[in-house]
Amino acid sequence: MSRLSQLSAARRPTRQIHVGSVAIGGGAPVSVQSMTTTKTADVEGTLSQIYALAAAGADIVRCTCNEEQAAEGLAHIVPRSPVPIVADVHFHHEMALAALEAGVHGLRLNPGNLRKPQEIRMVASEAGDRRIPIRIGVNAGSLHPELYKRYGGATPEALVESARVELALFAEVGFDDVKISVKASSVPLMIEAYRLASETFDHPLHLGVTEAGPPPAGLVKGTAGMATLLAEGIGDTIRYSLTADPVEEARAGRQLLEAMGLRPRKGLDLIACPSCGRAEIDVIGVAKSAQEALEDRNLAIQVAVMGCVVNGPGEAREADLGIAAGRKKGHLFIKGRIVRVVPEDDMVAALVEEAEKLVAEGIEARLAAAEAGAEAEAEADRRALLEARGSDVNQAGEKVALIRKTVEAQHRDS
C-alpha cells in the first residue's frame, strides 16, 4: 500500500450526513466550504458570488441569515444555487426556522449565541422533520460565559463541552443529524480541541481556524491547523476563514486537499524552481505570469517553470508540462522531454498554448507532435551554458571544501 493510500485509508470513522447532495463523513471525500460576504437579501449579487465559489472548488456555501430579508433572499437563492446552501444563524431562532422554510440544505447554529434550551430544541425538531442537518458551530471567541468561567477560559475541554451540551438538547427531540466544529483563532488551541472532539464524538467534524486574518498569514494559520489534523485522519469538511475575497478560501481549500492527496486534482498545479545562480530568467516573474494566464482555464495538469535548461527538464520530469530558460530561449518540455523551443519573450504564451493542447489531445499525442530538432537544440544550449558557467555555478564545491577545512581545524584544536 502506498503512503498516499495509507493517508486516505486512515480517516477517522464517523457517521455520515448529507448537506443536499454532498455527503460528509462516513468515508466520503473531504469537502470544501466557504461563505458569502454579500448581503443575502441581494439575491443576484449573492448568487454571483456562489457561482464564483463553486468554480473555485467550494462544495458547500454558507450564507448569513440574520434578518427577515435575508431569509426571503434564501428562498430565491437556494433553487438557483449550483451547490448546497447552509444558513448561518447566531442570535435568533426565528431566523433558523425561516431559513428552513426557505429550503436551505443545512443550518449552522452557534451555541454560544443561541442559548435558550427551548428554542434550540424547537429548531432541532423542525430540522429533524425536514431531514436537514445542523452544524454545532462552537467558537472560542463566543463561548457561553458559564463554560468560560467553569473551565477558566476557552480551553479544548470547554469547547468540546459546549458541543456536548448542544448535542444533549438535540437528543431530547431525537435529532442527531449533526456535524461539529470547535474553532479557535489560536492554532494550537484549535488543534487540541479537534483532537479531543474526535475522541469524544463520532459525528463528522468541520475543520477551521476562525478569524485567521488576511493572506498570507491567514493562509499559513489555516493550513497549519487543518493540515495537521487531516494528516492525523481528523476532519470531514474544511473552511479557510480569511479576511479576503471568499474565492481565495475556496481555492485554498481545494488546493490543500489536492496537495494532501485527499481529493483528485481539479485545477492547475504550478511548480517552479526557487532560482539560483544559473537562472537565465526572472523565475518569479515568469511563474507569476504563467499562474495568472493558466489558473482560470480549469486545466487539471501540473506545470513547471524552471530557471535554466541545464537541470530544469530533468528536475521537473514528473510534471505534465514545463518550460525552462536558456540562451534567450524557452525550452518547452512534456514529462521531461523537450518538444519545442521558442523565443524567451514567447515563453508564457507558448506554455498556455501547449497546456490547452495537452488537455485536449493527451500526452502521447503531444509527444508525437514534438518539433524535429527541438531536443538537439536544447542539448546544444545546455552544453553551451555548462561551458560558459561550469558545472558548479553556485560554488557549492568551494563551500564544501571550506566546511571540511573548518571542521578539520576544529578537530585539531580540540
User: How high is the pLDDT of residue 396?
Assistant: 62
| Edge-first strand listing for the sheet containing 31-35 | 178-183, 134-139, 106-109, 85-89, 60-64, 31-35, 237-238, 206-207
pLDDT over threshold 50, residue 90: yes
Nearest to 186, CA basis, from 166, 160, 213: 213
User: How high is the pLDDT of residue 227?
Assistant: 97
Nearest to 198, CA basis, from 234, 248, 242: 234
Nearest to 62, CA basis, from 77, 72, 18: 77
Q: For 242, list phi and psi in degrees, rounded to 5.
A: -110, 150
Can you point out the beta strands (E) in 36-96? 60-64, 85-89
Mean pLDDT of 111-121: 87
Cα–Cα distance list, 45 to 54, 273, 404 (Å): 14, 40, 65
> How many Å apart are CA 218 and CA 220, to the nearest integer?
5
What is the set of domains in the chain, with CATH numbers? 3-259 (3.20.20.20), 269-389 (3.30.413.10)
> How many Å apart are CA 157 and CA 24, to the nearest integer?
24
pLDDT over threshold 80, residue 71: yes
**Angle between the N-to-C axes of helices 156-171 and 117-130, in degrees from 0 to 180, rounded to the nearest 10:** 60
- 212 close to 202: Cβ distance less than 8 angstroms: no
- 25 close to 203: Cβ distance less than 8 angstroms: yes
Question: Which residues, listed in sequence order, are joined to residue 33 by a DSSP beta bridge?
Answer: 60
Q: Which residue has the higher pLDDT, 343 or 399?
A: 343
Listed as own residue / partner, the contacts of 357-366 with beta carbons closer than 8 Å and 24 or more positions apart are: 358/301, 358/320, 358/321, 358/334, 359/299, 359/300, 359/301, 363/320, 363/334, 363/335, 366/334, 366/339
Name the band, by pLDDT with cuts 50, 70 and 90, for residue 397. confident
Report the mean per-residue pLDDT for the chain.
88
**321-374: pLDDT as tens digits:** 888 887 788 888 999 899 988 888 888 899 999 999 999 999 999 999 998 888
Report the share of the chain in percent with pLDDT over 90: 54
Taking residue 338's Cβ as centre, other Cβ atoms within 10 Å add up to 24
Nearest to 32, CA basis, from 246, 298, 303, 308: 246
> How many Å apart are CA 267 and CA 23, to the nearest integer?
22
pLDDT over threshold 80, residue 298: no
**155-188: pLDDT as tens digits:** 999 999 999 999 999 999 999 999 999 999 999 9
User: How high is the pLDDT of residue 399?
Assistant: 66
> How many Å apart are CA 157 and CA 150, to the nearest integer?
10
Burial class from Cβ neighbours inside 10 Å (0-12, 13-18, 19+) for residue 298 reads exposed
pLDDT over threshold 90, residue 113: no
- Sorted by sequence, the CB contacts under 8 Å of residue 215 that are 6+ apart come out as 242, 244, 248
> How many Å apart are CA 24 and CA 130, to the nearest integer?
18
**137-161: pLDDT as tens digits:** 999 888 888 999 999 999 999 999 9
Mean pLDDT of 13-21: 95
pLDDT over threshold 70, residue 208: yes
Q: Which helix (H) or strand (E) holds 149?
A: helix 145-151
- 80 close to 58: Cβ distance less than 8 angstroms: no
Structure-block grid coordinates of residue 147: 463554560
- 333 close to 324: Cβ distance less than 8 angstroms: yes
User: How high is the pLDDT of residue 75?
Assistant: 93
pLDDT over threshold 60, residue 4: no
pLDDT over threshold 50, residue 226: yes
Structure-block grid coordinates of residue 283: 523565475
- Sorted by sequence, the CB contacts under 8 Å of residue 344 that are 6+ apart come out as 280, 281, 325, 328, 329, 330
User: How high is the pLDDT of residue 395?
Assistant: 67
**52-68: pLDDT as tens digits:** 888 788 999 999 999 89
User: How high is the pLDDT of residue 305?
Assistant: 87
